[in-house]
Structure 1
C-alpha cells in the first residue's frame, strides 16, 4: 500500500524580510530530505501529488467575502495584515490558495487510500473575518467541510496537535455539529484567548514526552470511541518539541514519532481514513525542523507496512 504525499514548490517560494520568524524554507527542505532519504522516483511505497489552487468562491463559503476580497485585493488595513504576520504579495495569495487546495487534495487521497499527508497546511488561526498568526485561510476547516461532501462521510474529527490552540478552527466550526474539533495545546501560549473546541486538552509549559503521550493517548482513545468519526484531519505540528522557539513543551523527537504513530495506528485499526498536515514548527535554522516533520512520514510508512 503506497503512501500518498502532497507537495508544491510554491510552499517555500515566498520572499520574507530577514530574520522573519516564519520558517518558509522548511517545506522545500522537507521535500528534499524525503527525496534524498526515500527517493520518490524509485520508492515503491510513495506517490507524490501536486495540488491545484482552491477556488476563491469556495473560500468565501467559509470566510467572510469582504475579508477575502480585501485580503486578496491588497486592501486589508495594515493593522490586520500585521495581525497575520506576513507582508502582502501576490505570491502570498497564490501560496495560500495552493496550500488550501493541497489540504483538500489530501482529504481526497485519505478517502481513497486510508492515509494522505500534506507537506504543508495547518493554518488554524484564520477566523471567519480575519487572519492571525501566519494564517490567512483556514485550510483545516475548509478541508473538513469538503470531506463532509464525500459519500459515506457523515462525521469528521480535526485532531490538532500543534502546540498553539486551534482558535480559528474552533470558532469557524462551532456550529458544525458533525465536525468535531479536538485541540491539544500549551495552556500558556498563543493565542491569549482560546475559544472552546469540542475537546480541549490544555497542558502546562514544560510538559514532558511521557506526560504528553499519557494525557493525549487516553483522551484520543476515548474521543475516537465516543464520536466514531468517518474521517480524521490531523495537524501534526512539531512545535511541541523541546527545542522549538515558540513551543514551551519538553517533548523529544521520539515523542513526536510516538504521537504521530499513535494517531495513525489507532485510526488505521479502526478503519478511519486520516488526512494529515505537517503543521507548525519554529526554529531560526529551518533545517533543524526537517527531521521532526519527517517523523510523520516515517510513522505512516510503518503503519502501512503493518497492514
Structure 2
C-alpha cells in the first residue's frame, strides 16, 4: 500500500525522526517462523503451493515476493521488539498481521508477526508474560487461535463487533464494539479494561497493534473515532507501558480512509507520541 512509503517520508519531513532512527528489517530465520506456524503451511507458502481457495482467503495474489515481504515484516517486528528491550519502545512501520493462523492465512495476512515476535521473546527468555493489545477495528482472530491456552500470552482485542471476521475466535479478552462508537465511550472502555489487565496479568512486555481503521473516515471500519480520539487511544497504551516501565513494540495494522492524508496523519501521531513519551 501507498502508506508504507509515504509514512516514513512524512516522519522525516516533519522532523519526528531522522534517517538514523530507521533500520532495514532482516529476513527472519525459518526456525522462528516454525515456532509459530506449521511447517506444512510455511512450505506451501515458500513453494507457492496454496490452493485457489487458500489464496482467495488471503486476499492477495500469491507470489514469491509477497512471501519474502511477509518474512521481512516479521523480522522487522522482532528487531523492533529487541530495540524496545533496550530503549523502552520500538516501532515497525508495517506489521500487525493478526489474521494469520498457525496453518493458514486470511485477511491480507500470511504470517503473524505479532505471534512470531511473542514466541521469539519467550523462547529466548527475553520475556515471561506478554500482553498483546490489538486495537485494530478487526478482531485479531489468528493471534487468538495461536495463543489459545497459552498462559504466558494474554490476547486483548477491542474491535468492531459486526465487522470482519464474521466468525470470531476467542481471545483472553474480546470487546466487541457497536457501529459508530464515539471517542468518549471508546476511551472509557479501553482505559478501564487495560488498567485491569495490567494489574491482574502483570506483563513484562507489550505488543501493540495500533490500526487506524477505527477512524470515522475509514471505508471499512464503521466506528466513529476522531483523529483526537485515536491520538488519545495511543497515548493511553504508550503512557501505561511507560508508567509501569514495561517495553512496548508498536506495529501499524490497518487503515483505509478515502483520503491518504487521514491514514498518514493517524499513523504518524503514534510515532510522535513515542518520541514525546520515551525520548
TM norm structure 1: 0.88
| Structure 2 counterpart of 1:47 | 21
1:214 & 1:39 partners in 2: Cα distance? 29
Matched-pair contact (CA < 8 Å) for 1:233–1:274? yes
2:30 & 2:259 partners in 1: Cα distance? 34
Name which of 66, 75, 93 aligns with 1:101.
Answer: 75
Q: Provide the secondary structure at the position in 1 that maps to 2:221.
A: coil
Alpha-carbon offset, residue 115 of structure 1: 0.7
Alpha-carbon offset, residue 41 of structure 1: 3.9
| 1:1-150 alignment, distance < 5 Å | 24-38=1-15, 40-41=17-18, 47-150=21-124
| Structure 2 counterpart of 1:221 | 195
Q: Provide the secondary structure at the position in 2 that maps to 1:50.
A: coil
Question: Does the alignment pair 1:157 with 2:134?
Answer: no
CA deviations 1:38-92 (Å, max 9, x no partner) are: 16448xxx72222101122321221111111111211100111010011112210
| Structure 2 counterpart of 1:168 | 142
Alpha-carbon offset, residue 284 of structure 1: 4.6
Matched-pair contact (CA < 8 Å) for 1:241–1:251? yes
1:294 & 1:286 partners in 2: Cα distance? 12
Question: Does the alignment pair 1:280 with 2:257?
Answer: no
Pair 1:55–1:212, CA change in 2 (3 A): same
2:71 & 2:64 partners in 1: Cα distance? 11
CA deviations 1:116-170 (Å, max 9, x no partner) are: 1110110000011110000000000000111213446210000000010000000
Q: Provide the secondary structure at the position in 2 that maps to 1:112.
A: helix
| Structure 1 counterpart of 2:276 | 302
Q: Provide the secondary structure at the position in 1 that maps to 2:218.
A: coil
Alpha-carbon offset, residue 304 of structure 1: 2.0
Structure 1 unaligned spans of 5+: 1-23
Q: Provide the secondary structure at the position in 2 that maps to 1:275.
A: strand
Matched-pair contact (CA < 8 Å) for 2:205–2:247? yes
| Equivalent residues, number | 279
Matched-pair contact (CA < 8 Å) for 1:29–1:287? no
CA deviations 1:260-287 (Å, max 9, x no partner) are: 1111101101011101111111135434
CA RMSD across the alignment: 1.4
2:45 & 2:68 partners in 1: Cα distance? 12
2:88 & 2:182 partners in 1: Cα distance? 31
2:138 & 2:181 partners in 1: Cα distance? 14
CA deviations 1:175-234 (Å, max 9, x no partner) are: 321011010101000001111100111111111011110111110111111101000000
